[in-house]
Structure 1
Amino acid sequence: MTLAAPRLTGRPLIETRPMRHPDIADAGTMTKRGWWLVVLNVLLPGSAQVLAGSRRLGRFGLGATLTAWFLVIVAVGLALFARPTLLWLTVGAGWFSGVVLTAVQVLLVGYVILWIVLTFDTLRLARLVKIPGLSKFALPVVALVLLGLVGSATGVAASYVGTARSTISTIFGSSGPSLPASDGYYNILLLGADSGEGRDSMRFDSISVVSVNASTGAVTITGIPRDMPNFPFAEDSPMRDPDLVGFDYRNYFEGHSDPDCGWGSGVNQLTNAVQVCREDDGASLYPDAVAQGSNPEIEATKDAAEGILGIEIPYYVFLDMKGFANLIDALGGVDINVTERLPMGGPPPGSGAHDVESWAIGWIEPGQQHMNGDTAQWYARSRYTTSDWDRMLRQRQLQQAILAQFTPQTVLTRFNEVATAGTAIVQTDLPQDKLPEFFDLLTKAKDQQVTTIELTPDHGVPETDIDFSFVHQLVQTTLHPPTATPTPTP
């Protein structure tokens, strides 16, 4: 009986590729191979499987990795060379931006899960039991530490994306119409009030208008005293229609009041006059307000601010002082130069404001201070031993300090905290499609000094008998300063 000779196929009977078919008896080769697999799994996830494991899993992981790098390169390119497009895709395209952010979050989470699978499979392929010495223990430790670092960073990124999507949908879920800049400026009514217990209504403690130059990003903040009386409304305001309002607005100039409901002629009393004291809650005055993310008292205050300043104010931002301290803490505090000693707290009901030392829960001392949220809130609200005019100046100072804290480093390192605090206290009717443009203007504003206008006696505006034509001219001159006429050369 003759044995047939084996057929030659052109390939050796035993493959000698060390990555896929290593010599398990060679300790040095197994150690080097294990480290190479771990390094490849970190640098190019999926490549370890292509070389030494399941090629199907490896091709899937490698394809996901290359796709991820491609998307990162595209995002970086857009951020560097087409930032408006990137902002439009992520925050300014309405529901489509929500879809984009959701897709990004899902991809990030999915990639983290894939990386975990690839890492444990890489350790399996390394055959740790065949690796001698310390490398047997060092390899899995290094692989898992690197997985933790990269995976946690990706997880944080996914969390940020989810927070951004939730914040945008919550704050900008309903808004007014998207309008172009008015006379070169975006004018936004900035309101502050405390919705805490014991407040009979949401009367505004702080009223100002932020004017942002649509080209340069330069910011001008105009403070309106909350008790300013006898003010005009905008020409097209429904507050000028006595049939709608229930009284002639000109009587409001003369100090019209309603003692039964408890309101007077100050601008911050519009909350009661327009909403609280009306059976329809102001719906007949501003029927579209709620659907556009606002309410009747805010729209009436917009009309009042337009009449006072002589400019168009299409949008508002409302800050609820009840949660204001949380935003300050989320930003890491603010730096304020205190010029006068101020008490924290207030007198017990019915006791009056006398004998401050007996009821003050603390004092804000003069000098440069880094304030936490609670101290900053008392700094803005303190009304005893000081005047309303000084209080306005402190609020403006605090607004500028908060703006200074909105640096990219602060926002990135405290993103979730800032977003959560902002969602809780901010209401606005700013249209979402304006966000890319406003982000760009905010970036420009960071490098410029904020200009302030205070409508107080110290700045030529008396408490009563106000000449509003003077106020209009003051605002126009500040927003549009006259250019110097060049002197002709002889």
Structure 2
Amino acid sequence: MTAAALGMSAQPIRHPDGSEQVMTRRGWWLVLLNFLIPGSAQALAGNRRLGRFGLGATLVMWALAIVTVAVALLSRRTMFDLVTNGIVLLVVEVLLVAYAILWVVLTIDTLRLVRVVRLRSWTRVAIPILSVVLLVVASGGAVTAASYAQTARDTFGTLFGASGASQAPSDGYYNIMLLGGDDAQGRTSMRFDSISVVSMNATTGAITTTGVPRDLAGFPFVAGSPMRSLYPSVHTGHGDPVCGWGPGINQLNTEVTVCKHGSSLYPDAVTQGSTPGIEATRDALEGILGVKIQYYVLMNFGGFAQLVDALGGVDIKVTERLPIGGGPKYRGEPASQWAKGWIEPGEQHMDGNTAQWYARSRETTSDWDRVQRQAQLEQAIVKQVNATTLLTRFREVAAAGQNLFKTDIPEGMLGYLADLGIKSRSQKVQAIQLVPTQGVDQFNPDVAAIHAKLQKLLHPAASPSPSN
């Protein structure tokens, strides 16, 4: 036997002897190698240049995956920064699509190398079917991951595309204004019916929330606010005869929007990712609480149902029977005539429409009860957003988020704030409500006392000890 023949017999994958048994065994190996280590089939049995390219691409993807896992384990903040960065997501998307295309090319070439006509009869069908299944699993997974990256990039770009620069903490805290409104059909503008401020410690992540009733009145605007030109002392809601809105804080957005003076009071609001109504509300809350509010998050209850449905529903414990419907047409009309249905007490798995009415219903309860139910829903939604939900319903949740939320938090702050949010989970949340049961007059609030109470919660070590 010649040396060449010996060399060929020692390399059955590249130089098979042509028997059905060897060709079939070789075919199974090539298909599995193409799936496990793309490029290896070509390196062993085909075009070595294509094989080296495929192996190189595979090694690069493995290296990137290992680096990603290492970063996630060693620096959570860096990981958050990467996965919320639009440029990084675009690069990931392009790489995944390119790798999926390469995998298709390598699979087709592998089937050519298998030489299906030389296989045993039943494997002439089985091996191509296995190749297609493995291709769908591999390249399909890469394409799905790429589509997730695109969805995330679009969502982050829409929600966090504010042009404002990242802001520094104030007195050791980031204070974020949370607004919930409803721009239902027939309304001239959105009213902020749910108003609160989340104060997050810039070092520890400790959270203090302050709930503000929507009808709180008699409050001052922070020094330097353009609204002081209309209300130098406190807000009355009657600074313009055309704007005869009530004095409640939730009237500010309607007031500056309908009265058409919002754009002159806050000319840069829109370009900075906000609105005049939001800025007027921010100035009011800074005056009431005595803290600087860096950012806002607005939730539109009109799109609330879409988010709940995207999450597959939400679990809520209902404590009292609540009507579904817009309310009576005249005073004293019984609920049985206008209610479209009822939310019964007990454990409920709510769809989007039911959850929306749970948050909005107030005809048989008070505004304060409604604020508490909205906070309960917010907490339930946070619990519902887990890794499994995001993986299985990512596109639906992302689409709902684009319709539901608006914020001026810049993309560059997402990693930092997300990291603080993780830290906050191990700490107890402090909460105060500016309501009569906690000693706050709804029409003539003692602003100095509110300032002192909040500061005591935010900086307990710096608060003076009570005299004996």
Per the TM superposition, whether the score is higher than 0.5 is: yes
Cα–Cα, structure 1 residues 375 and 257, in superposed 2: closer, same or farther, change >3 Å?
farther
Deviation at 1:321, TM superposition (A): 1.2
Could you say which residue in structure 2 is the equivalent of 1:268?
A: 250
Matched, 1:314 2:294: yes
Cα–Cα, structure 1 residues 373 and 337, in superposed 2: closer, same or farther, change >3 Å?
same
Cα–Cα, structure 1 residues 153 and 447, in superposed 2: closer, same or farther, change >3 Å?
farther
- Gaps spanning 5+ residues in structure 2: where? none
Distance 1:447 1:368 in 2: 27
The answer to whether the 8 Å contact 1:191/1:204 transfers is yes
Q: What amino acid maps onto 1:385 in structure 2?
A: T
Residue correspondence of structure 1 range 215-364 to structure 2 within 5 A: 215-240=203-228, 242=229, 247-250=230-233, 252-253=235-236, 256=238, 258=240, 260-278=242-260, 281-347=261-327, 350-352=329-331, 354-364=333-343
Matched, 1:127 2:115: yes
The answer to whether the 8 Å contact 1:317/1:428 transfers is yes
Cα–Cα, structure 1 residues 361 and 448, in superposed 2: closer, same or farther, change >3 Å?
farther
Distance 2:419 2:53 in 1: 39
Cα–Cα, structure 1 residues 377 and 428, in superposed 2: closer, same or farther, change >3 Å?
same
Tell me the secondary structure at the aligned position of residue 187 of structure 1: strand
Q: What amino acid maps onto 1:30 in structure 2?
A: M
Deviation at 1:187, TM superposition (A): 0.9
Distance 1:227 1:153 in 2: 51
CA displacement, residues 246-268 of structure 1 (integer Å, 9 cap, x when unaligned): x3432635x63655334121111
Could you say which residue in structure 2 is the equivalent of 1:433?
A: 412
Deviation at 1:137, TM superposition (A): 2.3
Could you say which residue in structure 2 is the equivalent of 1:94?
A: none
Tell me the secondary structure at the aligned position of residue 8 of structure 2: coil
Matched, 1:118 2:106: yes
Q: What amino acid maps onto 2:333 in structure 1?
A: H
CA displacement, residues 104-135 of structure 1 (integer Å, 9 cap, x when unaligned): 11110111111111112112211122111433
Aligned residues: 463
Tell me which of 380, 385, 397 is aligned to 1:406. Answer: 385
Distance 1:210 1:190 in 2: 7
Distance 1:376 1:448 in 2: 28
Matched, 1:451 2:449: no
CA displacement, residues 466-485 of structure 1 (integer Å, 9 cap, x when unaligned): 22222222222333345999
Tell me the secondary structure at the aligned position of residue 262 of structure 2: coil
Deviation at 1:182, TM superposition (A): 1.7
Same amino acid, percent of matched pairs: 56
Could you say which residue in structure 2 is the equivalent of 1:469?
A: 448
Deviation at 1:161, TM superposition (A): 0.4
Cα–Cα, structure 1 residues 450 and 358, in superposed 2: closer, same or farther, change >3 Å?
farther
The answer to whether the 8 Å contact 1:330/1:418 transfers is yes
Could you say which residue in structure 2 is the equivalent of 1:199?
A: 187
Deviation at 1:54, TM superposition (A): 1.4
Structure showing greater radius of gyration is: 1
Tell me which of 369, 375, 399 is aligned to 1:396. Answer: 375
Q: What amino acid maps onto 1:372 in structure 2?
A: D
CA displacement, residues 365-395 of structure 1 (integer Å, 9 cap, x when unaligned): 1122222221111111101010011111111
The answer to whether the 8 Å contact 1:257/1:263 transfers is no
Could you say which residue in structure 2 is the equivalent of 1:18?
A: 12
The answer to whether the 8 Å contact 1:400/1:450 transfers is no
Residue correspondence of structure 1 range 153-164 to structure 2 within 5 A: 153-164=141-152
Distance 1:308 1:301 in 2: 10
Could you say which residue in structure 1 is the equivalent of 2:365?
A: 386
Could you say which residue in structure 1 is the equivalent of 2:356?
A: 377
Cα–Cα, structure 1 residues 288 and 64, in superposed 2: closer, same or farther, change >3 Å?
same
Which is further off, 409-418 or 386-395?
Answer: 409-418
